[in-house]
Amino acid sequence: MKSRYMNRVIEENSDNALRYLDRYKSELSRKKACNAGKCRKQEHSEEKGARRSFVGLLIKILFVLALLAVQQVCAMLTRSAAEKVHQMAVNPGE
């Protein structure tokens, strides 16, 4: 007599095996279509997707660099203002 746990494990493993076989069959049919010369459209869409993800990553990197540049400018201005206040405190008559 099998326990519920064993039944669940067997069901999950069989589901995983079926999913693997489905993926394998779809990959095999895609390769056959490519060998027949019918997959140019899919390759083009894959290239377009890769290009879009690269552009998105590039935009994110440039945004972070812009934020860092603004932060550095603010830090320099703050330091400059602090130096002026320090000079005024040290030499109040000038």
Range of the domain at 17: 1-38
Same domain for 8 and 30, yes or no, is: yes
Residue 62: predicted pLDDT: 95
Of residues 85 and 65, more confidence is placed in 65
Domain count across the chain: 2
One domain for residues 90 and 62: yes
70 and 94 within one domain: yes
For residue 49, give Cα distances in angstroms to 14, 30, 55, 62, 82. Answer: 33, 18, 10, 20, 49
More confident call, 48 vs 65: 65
pLDDT at residue 79 is higher than 90: no
Confidence of residue 42 (pLDDT cuts 50, 70, 90): low
pTM, two decimal places: 0.40
Residue 87 to residues 38, 76, 77, 78, 93, Cα–Cα distance (Å): 76, 17, 15, 14, 10
- Is the pLDDT at 23 greater than 70? The verdict is yes
2 and 29 share a domain? yes
**Residue 60 falls within a domain, yes or no?**
yes
Cα–Cα distances (Å) from 84 to 72, 73, 81, 93, in that order, read 18, 17, 5, 14
Please indicate, yes or no, if residue 45 is contained in any of the structural domains: no
Res. 2 pLDDT band, cuts 50 70 90: low
Environment class of residue 20 by beta-carbon count within 10 Å: exposed (0-12), middle (13-18) or buried (19+)?
Answer: exposed
